[in-house]
Amino acid sequence: PCFPTVTSLQDLASGAALAATIHCYCPQLLRLEEVCLKDPMSVADSLYNLQLVQDFCASRLPRGCPLSLEDLLYVPPP
């Protein structure tokens, strides 16, 4: 698979890099086959990945994810 390169905060908007990083450290909790790595990525694909990230955070982190899907999806350009 081709993993997205992260050079700015806006590169996290698709959720692919975040989900792939979670998979790298916790492959038993988030399978790579579940992550959408299309290029180009549609808004629906991005929301799907970001929901995977939020679900992981909600189930594994004491306080969950402090950011909403919209916060992550609509990161303003630098």
19-23 long-range contacts, Cβ below 8 Å, gap at least 24?
A: 19/49, 19/52, 19/53, 22/52, 22/53, 22/56
Instruction: Tell me the backbone φ, ψ of residue 37, rounded to 5 degrees.
Output: -120, 30
Per the CB < 8 A criterion, the answer to whether 20 and 30 are in contact is no
pLDDT (0 to 100) of residue 16: 93
Residue-by-residue pLDDT tens, the chain, 78 positions: 677 788 888 888 899 999 999 999 999 999 999 999 998 889 999 999 999 999 999 999 999 888 888 888 888 776
Tally the residues of the chain: 78
pLDDT (0 to 100) of residue 60: 93
pLDDT (0 to 100) of residue 17: 92
pLDDT (0 to 100) of residue 44: 96
pLDDT (0 to 100) of residue 11: 84
Kindly report the pTM of this predicted structure. 0.86
